Amino acid sequence: MGLLSDPYRRRALSRLILRLNTPLCILCYVAGLGWFLGLAFHPFTLRTYMSENAMGSTMVEEQFAYGERALSYAREFAGHKKKAGGIPVAWLEKTMWNLGLEVYKQPFSRTLPFPDEARERYMVKGTNMYGILRAPRAASTESLVLSVPCSEGQQNNQAVGLMLALASYFRGQIYWAKDIIFLVNEHDLIGMEAWLEAYHDVNVTEVHSSEMLGRAGAIQAAVSLELSSDVVTSFDVAVEGLNGQLPNLDLVNLFYAFCQKNGLLCTIQGKLQRTDWDTLPAYVHSLQTLLLMVLKQGSGRPQGDHGLFLRYHVEAITVRGINSFRQYKYDMSTVGKTLEGMFRKLNNLLERLHQSYFFYLLPSLSRFVSIGVYMPAFGFLILILVLKALDLWMKLSKCDMGPEERLCDGNQGASHTATEESRPGLLTLVPPLLICHATGLVLYFLPVLGQHVATQHFPVSESEAVVLTVIAIYVAGLALPHNTHRVLMGSGSDRGWMTLKLLSLLYLAMQLGCIALINFSLGFLLAVTMVPVAAIVQPVGPKYVYAVLLVLVTPAATLLLSIFLYQELIEYPVSLLECWQLFLQAVAEGLLDHYLYGSIVFPFVAIFVYPCWLLLWNVLASKGNWKRHSLGARPSLRGGASAEPSLWGEELPAAAAFSPAASGGSGRVDGIEACRRPGPSTPRLLPRGRGLDLGLLHAKAFEGVSVAAPCELAVGID
Amino acid sequence: MAAPLVLGVLVAVTVRAVLYRSSLAAFISDRVEVSSPLSAWKRVVEGLSLLDLGVSPYSGDIFHETPLIIYLFHFLIEYAELVFMITDVLTAVALYLAIQDFNKVVFKKQKLLIELDKYAPDVAELIRTPIEMHYIPLKVALFYLLNPYTVMSCVAKSTCAINNTIIAFFILATMKGSAFLSAVFLALATYQSLYPLTLFAPALIYLLQRQFIPVKLKSKGFWIYTTQYAALYLCSLVVIICLSFFLLSSWDFIPSVYGFILSVPDLTPNIGLFWYFFAEMFEHFSLFFMCVFQINVFFYTIPLAVKLKEHPIFFMFVQIAIISIFKSYPTVGDIALYMAFLPVWGHLYRFLRNIFILSCMLIVCSLLFPVLWHLWIYAGSANSNFYYAITLTFNVGQILLISDYFYAFLRREYYLTHGLYLTRKDGTEAMLVLK
């Protein structure tokens, strides 16, 4: 509490913040970035370990030996799939029934908001098939899910085969205490969403599906399997789910432990772990893995069918079999054994997976970084905004000692103060705020609503229309607030833009803080680009440099950059044109993710980040008749500290002597005269040198700012 | 002056009407920050249907409203939305009139003190002017009506809005100097939520000041007036409670309402300090700590009464804030009531130290509540500690805000009597330090 009440220490602190603002900000940025880069460094990460008691070891004797049967199922399934031209419902029903499962089918349909050109689908109709293996040892209160997508072409046939072989093997065992659901979902994520919604009897997206007839208790964990070859060389595990949600680390650990037990190679983000850690290439390798995870998580897209389970509080991972050119290959039996081991361990669970971490980053499969370690990287970046905001606040409150309550309630406060006598800087805040948010709302609603109008008038398809409208509105937004702002701002004052900048900095800090809790990667990616530019942007100085920088850090540019970086990291570099193509596709998929699965990235960017960025753009566009030395420069400090602008409100009574009322709003230059106040009281004059100095400063600071003179009014009363 | 107020009311009513019709209404009314077990509208509906079925509404563990509320809505259930909008408007108007009166009083007192030459010579800039004070009542009304907290509370149909109205009328009656109405409304407020009991002290001091009776324990007039006011208060309280008894012909509501408030059996998370603490505590300690926690609300009344006996309305503001921070089931609607008073103390702005940090803190916390709730309850990735951390920060922010205002108020008073430019004995500039 000393810091909050002791004026001396506060003064020291505020002086520190004012004087060392720029170095501190730079230091924070470097620290934040350095911290993040350090996360991939081996000694700074922790070794993963199993927290859940019930899954403590891999002491299970796996006996799955139906590898051949799996392959024959796969071939049969492939044949029937080709014949049916989709999911072979009748064959699956018969086969599952013969295995002794309770079989159900769930037809669903979904019309996309606009056609998905990458996957060529618009009106989706499909059927999910699932069979329930009832547990012999317990009531049907809990269940596990093994899901396999039924994709088009030759994809994933082996996965279905292996799933059926596992089902037939599991059926013969007596130790099951949880029901096991074997699910074949059509149209990958759409089918999965339909199934999950029907299973939990909710309807959060607009998918239509028939009522679900068979259920098997609360789902404890799920594994989604993707396998397209008879033999595999390695497994890749995908963890990132919808909105960057991650499964409990224990589930990943469990998979990794069984892979190790069976000698299977296991990768994450397609990267195999290196055994050496103290070399530079090893560090770069784990940094690449980490960056890939951050980029994937930041996109908010589910990286596999498991991604949708997470929303329903079900821990899930996707396991992908990879067949590459390695020498050593594993057959279906080994793969089946691994899955069998996992299911038997999950079967032992006494409660939901909750012991281990939910917030983590994985630089490799055996090392992790928990939330407490990675959050400081983000915290340092946010600190820049806070420091800059404090700096602005102190500069603002220094020149305006009059009592007023503002910025207390953000928008609310602004509209309140609008009713008071017009003060420049407060009224002017309202139009930019409203216009920016209106633009954001238009960006969110118009593309999908206006697609038909667009296709009627322009020779484009619906999907192109949506994407191009998004881009058009996004770019148009750059011009619109800029112009209106010019008209409405009227007398541009430095207070105006400083207040606007203060508001937008705080707004940005708030948004980034909130999103970083939900999706750290998204928050970090936005922060690392936007924060430094947001901190330096101002309407004076090299305006065009600032404008270019600001355009470079707009969320769309960040997306473009992220795509480029991603392609580099997966060692599939693209040219600029291809990158642009991918960008267009990413925009369309971002919208689809929002409408189909409820991803929050697009609305968050459109409704919050983009308007905030536009506010910063407004700051740049506002007319600052700001003399460089009047507010930006520190007042001279000689003669004691009372000349120092104080932290958050007036600290020192003497500072009141520089009340704007005294200078009468005129740009008078003689400092002593400006400081002498009318009225019955005898103001304590300042030491000559200091008074002159500050009088000059204030006279300049208040050019064009009209402030009522309370002293004279007070005299009038008595 | 009336025109802007009417405009404000129209805007506020429109916002509420739009929100009632939107899909947000269901979302807002389920928020734990907005509706507590005491004030949730769902529970009122449950109590009403129990009453209609001829069962005592207090027979379950759902309904904790007072009998008068249930009978009010027994007749007005069809117009519930209208009722809540009207109560908000009434609160705003009552506060508007009350503050208008208060301004006159402040101004008269200031004039008197200037004439008596009580102020130091160089405090001209601390003297308040009618121009700056002119808009304060309007600001107060708008702060209440347009505060997002009030809007949410109204949209959620939290009965906290009705308690606020009663307290606002109590303040108005006190300002107007009507001891009888003041006592009646105070009794009603106490009957509604128990804690306004502590507002007895500021109201009494204010009424005494109006009657020019010195607040001294030795003076006879003081005791006579206090007894009168207390008797009025107690009589109305007894009448209201007996009325409730006759309405339901049972005393069930006493344990179900006041027992529920005092013993805090429902530990649903809210923005208060109780739930986490008592969810974690061993059962056999809980009685002791319950007393400690509850005493918080009542205890501060005594030192505040001593320190602020010259300024009963500021006292009342601090006390309302304390109630809304330390009560057992706080909601954002309670906070909105004391926040409406912030413009009244606008002249303290120059003495506030942390207003920037604190307002940022409160806004950030308000936004983080739903985020962390989502992470805890829906995503399942965070846990209750995350949410409680924010609750704690929010309350610390409120406490610091109130102490900031309190200290600023005292500092201004000090400067008024001792002069704005303090000097040390050796002639250098001095500074007030709170140790």
Which of the two residues, B381 and B425, has the higher pLDDT score?
B381
Distance between CA B170 and CA B157 in Å, rounded? 22
pLDDT at A651 over 60: no
Residue with more model confidence, A70 or A684: A70
* pLDDT value of position B153: 93
How sure is the predictor about A225, in pLDDT bands with cuts at 50, 70 and 90?
very high
Our separate counts of H helices and E strands in chain B read 21, 0
Q: ∠A324-A329-A331 over CA atoms, to 5°?
A: 120
Same domain? For A458 and A359 the reply is no
Segment B71-124, tens digit of pLDDT:
889 888 888 889 999 999 999 999 999 999 999 998 988 888 888 887 877 777
**For residue A223, is it within any domain?**
yes
Per-residue pLDDT, B434: 60
- pLDDT of A544 reads 85
In a domain, A706, yes or no: no
Q: What is the mean pLDDT of residues B155-169?
A: 93
**Domain span including residue A463:** 2-38+374-620
Domain match, A290 and A211 both: yes
Mean pLDDT of A606-628: 77
Q: In terms of domains, do A430 and A338 share one?
A: no
Summary mean pLDDT of chain A: 78
Tokens, residue A578: 């291809």
DSSP-assigned letters across all residues of A381-434: HHHHHHHHHHHHHHHHHHH--S----SSSTHHHHHHHTTSS--TTTGGGHHHHH
Domains of chain A: total: 2
Listed ranges A709-718, B290-299, B415-424; the one with the highest mean pLDDT: B290-299
Binned at pLDDT 50, 70 and 90, residue A5 comes out as low
Q: Say if residue A415 is in the same domain as residue A344.
A: no
**Is position A521 within any domain?**
yes
* 3 state SS of B384: helix
Whole-number pLDDT of residue A11 = 79
Residue B135: its chain A contacts at CB < 8 A?
419-420
Tens of pLDDT, residues A434-490 = 888 888 999 998 888 888 888 888 888 888 888 888 888 888 888 765 555 555 554
Does B291 lie at the interface with A, CB-CB under 8 angstroms?
Answer: no
- Mean pLDDT of the region B190-197: 92
A424 and A329, same domain (yes or no): no
Question: What pTM was estimated for this model as a whole?
Answer: 0.83
- ipTM for this model: 0.85
Q: What would the mean pLDDT of A403-415 be, rounded to a whole number?
A: 37
Length of chain A: 718
* A300 part of a folded domain: no
Residue A192 lies in a domain: yes
CB pair distance less than 8 Å for A649 and B121: no
pLDDT category at A626 given cuts 50, 70, 90 is very low
User: What is the CATH number for A286?
Assistant: 3.40.630
| A179-186 and A142-150 beta bridge pairing | parallel
Does the pLDDT of residue A215 top 90, yes or no? Answer: no
pLDDT at A420 over 70: no
DSSP state for residue A44 in the 8-state scheme: G
Distance (Å, whole) CA A472 – CA A468:
6
Indicate the residue among A571, A594, A620 that finishes a domain.
Answer: A620
**The pLDDT of residue A4:** 58
pLDDT tens column, B17-41: 999 998 888 888 888 899 899 889 9
Residues 372-411 of B with CB under 8 A from A: 372, 374-375, 378-382, 400, 407
Both A345 and A378 in a single domain?
Answer: no
Distance between CA atoms of B145 and A109, rounded to whole angstroms? 46
Are both A274 and A397 inside the same structural domain?
no
User: Which two tokens mark A346?
Assistant: 């999950």
**How far is residue A241's CA from residue A521's CA, in Å, rounded to a whole number?**
12
User: Could you say which DSSP state residue A683 is in?
Assistant: P
Are residues A406 and A349 both part of a single domain? Answer: no
Q: How many other C-beta atoms lie within 10 A of the C-beta of residue A692?
A: 17
Does residue A705 contact residue A661 with C-beta atoms inside 8 Å? no
Of the pLDDT bands very low, low, confident and very high (cuts 50, 70, 90), residue B3 is: confident
Residue A429 to residue A418: CA distance in whole angstroms: 10
CA-nearest residue to A652 within chain B is B431
What is the Cα–Cα distance from A200 to B188, expressed in whole angstroms? 46
Task: Provide mean pLDDT across the span B363-371.
Answer: 92
In this structure, the answer to whether residues A341 and A391 fall within a common structural domain is no
Is A670 domain-assigned? no
According to DSSP, residue B18 is labeled: H
Q: Contacts of residue A311 in chain B, CB cutoff 8 Å?
A: 378-379
Task: Look at residue A624 in the predicted model and tell me its pLDDT.
Answer: 53
Q: Which two tokens stand for residue A552?
A: 């470079």
Q: Do B124 and A711 touch (CB under 8 A)?
A: yes
CA dihedral for A30, A31, A37, A38, sign (positive or negative): positive
Is the pLDDT at A421 greater than 80? The verdict is: no
Same domain, A393 and A540: yes
Q: Which residues of A touch B409 (CB under 8 A)?
A: none
Residue A253 counted as domain residue: yes
In a domain, A635, yes or no: no
Residues A166 and A127 both lie in one domain: yes
Residues 6+ apart with CB under 8 A from B217: none
**A235 and A268 both lie in a single domain:** yes
Residues 91-150 on B with a CB inside 8 Å of A are 111, 114-115, 121-125, 127-132, 135, 138-139, 142-143, 146-148
Is pLDDT of A187 > 90?
A: no
Amino acid A594: pLDDT: 92
Beta carbons of A649 and B354 less than 8 Å apart: yes
Least confident range from A124-128, A381-385, A488-492, A574-578: namely A488-492
